Structure 1
Amino acid sequence: MKNCSARYKLDNVANPNLYKDIFPYDEIPKIIFDRVQVPMDIPEEIYITDTTFRDGQQSRPPYTSKQIIRIFDYLHQLDNDSGIIKQTEFFLYTEKDRTAAEKCMEKGYEFPEVTSWIRANKEDFKLVKQMGIRETGMLMSCSDYHIFKKLKMTRQEAVDLYLSVVKEALNNGIHPRCHLEDITRADFYGFVVPFVTKLMELSREANVPIKIRACDTLGLGVSYSGVAVPRSVQKIIHGLRTICGVPSDLIEWHGHNDFYSVVDNSTTAWLYGASSINTSILGIGERTGNCPLEAMVFEYAQLKGNTKNMNLHVITELAEYFSREMKYDVPTRTPFVGKEFNETRAGIHADGILKDEEIYNAFNTDKILGKPIVVAVNQYSGHAGIAAWINTYYRLEGNNKIDKKDKRVNEIKLWVDEQYKLGRTTMIGNNELEMLVKKVMPEIMRKKEERAS
């Protein structure tokens, strides 16, 4: 690996390489194929990390200390000592954030581990050390857009600055996590590879792990095979491993959803050698957001065939907490967390659910997420839709299920039809259907009340 990386020297260009053939700005970005294939190599152990209290706070009103601590508890309960949700990162800028971080650390949870994100200065390093935080993230922009236009530096000056910051962290006994901002617009072989190779040399000299977080800052990463850098997620992760010699357990992917690709890109990073995917709860983050933590839980489950000891009901509780406590609007049809993500309105689908809910439900949402399948009633529902609503809403099973041919279902159907004949355009509400069931099927309501008591 060392000999391989030695071929790549820092290309200290006089003018920035902005890849205008790929990013013309006045046009939609282009995807360039070099048709070179790299092998998949998923790590034996893969993890999820969280940035809810860092990147997740940059696009909304800041959380209160109380809210941060409660969300941290939820993360711990979701992980449930499985070790899958490995870390979460905190800002340390304000007294509020520092207090919240300290309170979370005092809980003594192994997972998720509290890490920080700081500005690269000596005072912030002292703060991290005083708080007893083992690892901290530091921003290290790596595209010429940032180096030349934002930092007003040359590539060599940027590398020198970043290496000095890492050395300062090591001198303070802190494990650095290098956030390679805007890596999907960076000169991978002319800047990223020589820089990361230097970081790995420092890591070996100090005998301290230096983590590399590849940040797809504008969501420009592409997961397809045969795509050229800088946009290829496959080649970025493969190159970090095989050219720079970064062990998989020190590679982390941080994506954004600007092009609707954040989940695919994140999973691809896992598949090609990154051990960790950085996420935020509900995907809340800058602009279109980060990778949703809940999405990667389900990606993990599909890749590994299990979720170890995780308690996935907490995903539902988290969504409800954000809606209730922060008045956060979770779109109703958002996968896994939306109130209607497993709702069906089509009559033919409802008829299938009436026969067997597995026909139109991908998994047992009630068992896994505590979200029973939902059937909505409208002018297209028919007898099957109404019967399915009754059975799912009241959780009727076996011989207790109501058949679509039941004459009492027809009574409700006639009422529904009349509503739409009179010009109604909205769905029939659960409260309205409850009143109808109470009238024509009083025994079902009695059983519901008995269960509740």
Structure 2
Amino acid sequence: MRLPGNKLIEIMDTTLRDGEQTSGVSFSAHEKVSIARQLLSDLGVNRIEIASARVSEGEYDAVKLTVRWAERAGYLSRLEVLGFVDGETSLNWIKSAGCKVMNLLCKGSFKHVTEQLRKTPEQHIADITEVVNKAQEMGIEVNVYLEDWSNGMLHSPEYVYQLMDGLKDLPIKRFMLPDTLGILNPRNTYFFCKEMLTRWPKLHFDFHAHNDYDLAVANVYSAIVAGVKGVHTTVNGLGERAGNPPLSSVLAVIHDQLKLKTSLNEKKINQVSKLVETYSGIHISTNKPIVGEHVFTQCAGIHADGDAKNNLYFNDLLPERFGRTREYALGKTSGRANIRKNLESLGIEMDEESMRKVTERIIELGDKKEAVTKEDLPYIITDVLRHDAIENKIKLLNYSLSLTQGLKPVASLKIEIEGKAYEETASGDGQYDAFVRALRKIYKSLSKPFPMLTNYSVSIPPGGRTDAFVQTVISWNHEGVDFKTRGLDADQTEAAIKATVKMLNKIA
């Protein structure tokens, strides 16, 4: 089916409401404002759902703070709050917080209305009508969620039709169709959405997917093909159980697969994704489409070779679209093309024989499960070719680490900086902490800046053998620049020390 290419799909992001229902995720008021600002101002999302009414005093304060920012920025009409069929209670909460749009949670299946509410369809329609009419009196715009609509269409479609006929003439701007339990597939999503649009062609329908069968994005695709005007997402796919459709994936599917338009700025999606990752504490999978760390990294040498020959391994998902860059991984599957791409970015030229030796060394390291990075290449070149391609201005001459029960670990070290030796001793909360404290003493005495350690991770090859190599990856920030260094050793602390010495030479 060919869709009109000028059709604009409306995006409602519910990271701050549905996404916050992810186990262990709770955004502070200032974090909510920061995320709202990036979603609306930078990314250009049409609407955002920021909270549920009546949850807590903290939620109320967060909504008020977000409202104050949105009023100043001109986005107040694009903030929405989930409300309930509870007379005026939710409405008063929303109005008091300063919001102008309520997403009213109604029951979209016969089972929910009769077993959870213990009401007849007629009673529920009357209750909804009362809330909608009261909202209009209070100047609050209403959208309606048909909760459990997917089960309603599967098991009680007559109830869904009765509910819609009872509500279609009320002042409701959007009817939102949730697959609350994530039970739909692309086929029945299309037919159910198409049925709603055929019966009520003048109404605005949104589709709200969940990802329990890993079909959320596919179901969004089908709903749009069926004709819905809006879809709901969360950043990084946050949400209850398996989560919601990821905003980044939905954006790419709409633009590339459906050839339709949105109001979103693709270049900002990675920035928003990283912000939500930081605030939520939920790490993005490295192979997550669009925003994963490795999704724009070519590993096989044949791919890098193809890229050099008229971009044979490129698709429409160019990293530059999303504010990112293509990288070429180095490891046991690397060929010379991968290595050459990385050398070019470093401004290093090499003859074919030298290239062969470096390739062999990288493959050897890859067999030991070491992740080789572009930053490691100059060190590998120096090691393999045994020349002074890089002058190590800083050398660790000697060090001693002690661990005694009941006492803090102590580190003593001797280091050479530009030909001069320095010694220092320090205690710390661990052996590596003591080592870094001793280093900091030396750098402080020399009035040299010392980078801030921002992250520290350790990995070993699968199998958990006690004699396995340990790879330590340390993230640093030096004068506003973020970078990583890696160390490999049989001992975790020594691996970290190797990574630290790499860092010292890098900043030098």
The two structures have a TM-score, normalised by structure 2, of: 0.67
Q: Which moved more, 1:182-191 or 1:429-438?
A: 429-438
2:163 matched residue in structure 1:
195
CA contact (8 A) 1:354 1:387 kept: no
Cα pair distance change 1:234/1:390, threshold 3 Å: same
What runs of 5+ residues in structure 1 fail to find an aligned partner? 1-37, 204-208, 225-231, 446-451
Q: Which moved more, 1:320-329 or 1:256-265?
A: 320-329
Helix, strand or coil for the counterpart of 1:252? Answer: strand
CA contact (8 A) 2:303 2:313 kept: yes
CA contact (8 A) 1:255 1:278 kept: yes
CA deviation after TM superposition for structure 1 residue 175, in Å: 1.9
2:332 matched residue in structure 1:
379
Matches within 5 A, 1:64-79: 64-79=28-43
- Match among 176, 185, 198 for residue 242 of structure 1: 198
Q: Which moved more, 1:342-351 or 1:144-153?
A: 144-153
Question: What's the CA shift string for 1:156-215, capped at 9, x where partnerless?
Answer: 333333333333333433222111011111146411122112212223xxxxx4321000
How far apart, in 2, do the equivalents of 1:168 and 1:71 lie? 31
- Match among 340, 347, 351 for residue 301 of structure 2: 347
CA deviation after TM superposition for structure 1 residue 275, in Å: 1.1
CA deviation after TM superposition for structure 1 residue 413, in Å: 1.4
1:282 paired to 2:236: yes
CA contact (8 A) 2:50 2:63 kept: no
CA contact (8 A) 1:315 1:369 kept: yes
Question: What's the CA shift string for 1:127-181, capped at 9, x where partnerless?
Answer: 2223342210121122233223322333333333333333333343322211101
1:368 matched residue in structure 2:
321
How far apart, in 2, do the equivalents of 1:370 and 1:135 lie? 32
How far apart, in 2, do the equivalents of 1:246 and 1:200 lie? 10
Helix, strand or coil for the counterpart of 1:212? Answer: strand
Question: What's the CA shift string for 1:267-311, capped at 9, x where partnerless?
Answer: 222222211101111110011111111122212322346655x43
Cα pair distance change 1:444/1:406, threshold 3 Å: farther
Matches within 5 A, 1:93-108: 93-107=55-69, 108=72
Q: Which moved more, 1:145-154 or 1:132-141?
A: 145-154
Larger RCO (CA within 8 A; separation ≥ 6): 1
CA deviation after TM superposition for structure 1 residue 373, in Å: 1.3
CA contact (8 A) 2:238 2:246 kept: yes
1:136 matched residue in structure 2:
102
CA contact (8 A) 2:235 2:276 kept: no
Cα pair distance change 1:330/1:213, threshold 3 Å: same
CA contact (8 A) 2:5 2:261 kept: no
1:33 matched residue in structure 2:
none
- Matched residue type, 1:119: F
Q: CA RMSD in A?
A: 3.2
1:167 paired to 2:133: yes
Question: What's the CA shift string for 1:87-132, capped at 9, x where partnerless?
Answer: 4332243233233222323233345811111233222211222334
How far apart, in 1, do the equivalents of 2:175 and 2:390 lie? 58
1:337 matched residue in structure 2:
291
CA contact (8 A) 1:361 1:373 kept: no
2:149 matched residue in structure 1:
183
Cα pair distance change 1:314/1:190, threshold 3 Å: same
- Match among 201, 207, 218 for residue 264 of structure 1: 218
2:369 matched residue in structure 1:
425
Q: Which moved more, 1:96-105 or 1:370-379?
A: 96-105
Question: What's the CA shift string for 1:356-384, capped at 9, x where partnerless?
Answer: 4x322324634212221122122221222
How far apart, in 2, do the equivalents of 1:273 and 1:364 lie? 25
Cα pair distance change 1:418/1:185, threshold 3 Å: closer
- Matched residue type, 1:409: M
How far apart, in 2, do the equivalents of 1:363 and 1:307 lie? 17
CA contact (8 A) 2:9 2:262 kept: no
Indicate the structure with greater strand content: 2
Helix, strand or coil for the counterpart of 1:233? Answer: helix
How far apart, in 2, do the equivalents of 1:287 and 1:201 lie? 35
Alignment identity in percent?
21
What runs of 5+ residues in structure 2 fail to find an aligned partner? 392-480, 482-506
Matches within 5 A, 1:35-54: 44-54=7-17
1:390 paired to 2:343: yes
Cα pair distance change 1:402/1:267, threshold 3 Å: farther
- Matched residue type, 2:52: F
How far apart, in 2, do the equivalents of 1:246 and 1:176 lie? 17
- Matched residue type, 2:285: P
How far apart, in 2, do the equivalents of 1:389 and 1:326 lie? 33
How far apart, in 2, do the equivalents of 1:145 and 1:88 lie? 26
Cα pair distance change 1:307/1:217, threshold 3 Å: closer
Q: Which moved more, 1:290-299 or 1:275-284?
A: 290-299
CA deviation after TM superposition for structure 1 residue 64, in Å: 0.8
- Matched residue type, 2:141: H
- Matched residue type, 1:78: D
The two structures have a TM-score, normalised by structure 1, of: 0.75
Question: What's the CA shift string for 1:27-83, capped at 9, x where partnerless?
Answer: xxxxxxxxxxx9978983321001111111111321111111111111124334xxx
How far apart, in 2, do the equivalents of 1:39 and 1:346 lie? 36
Largest Rg, 1 or 2: 2
Cα pair distance change 1:179/1:351, threshold 3 Å: same
How far apart, in 1, do the equivalents of 2:334 and 2:225 lie? 42
Helix, strand or coil for the counterpart of 1:388? Answer: helix
How far apart, in 2, do the equivalents of 1:296 and 1:217 lie? 18
CA contact (8 A) 1:74 1:318 kept: yes
Helix, strand or coil for the counterpart of 2:372? Answer: coil
1:359 matched residue in structure 2:
312
1:9 matched residue in structure 2:
none
- Match among 66, 91, 99 for residue 125 of structure 1: 91
CA contact (8 A) 2:48 2:79 kept: yes
- Matched residue type, 1:198: G
CA contact (8 A) 1:343 1:373 kept: yes
How far apart, in 2, do the equivalents of 1:379 and 1:340 lie? 16
1:415 matched residue in structure 2:
361
Cα pair distance change 1:223/1:418, threshold 3 Å: closer
- Matched residue type, 1:175: E
How far apart, in 2, do the equivalents of 1:106 and 1:240 lie? 37
Cα pair distance change 1:444/1:210, threshold 3 Å: farther
- Match among 118, 121, 124 for residue 152 of structure 1: 118
- Matched residue type, 1:47: E
How far apart, in 2, do the equivalents of 1:401 and 1:141 lie? 64
Cα pair distance change 1:414/1:242, threshold 3 Å: closer
Cα pair distance change 1:126/1:406, threshold 3 Å: same
Cα pair distance change 1:73/1:218, threshold 3 Å: same
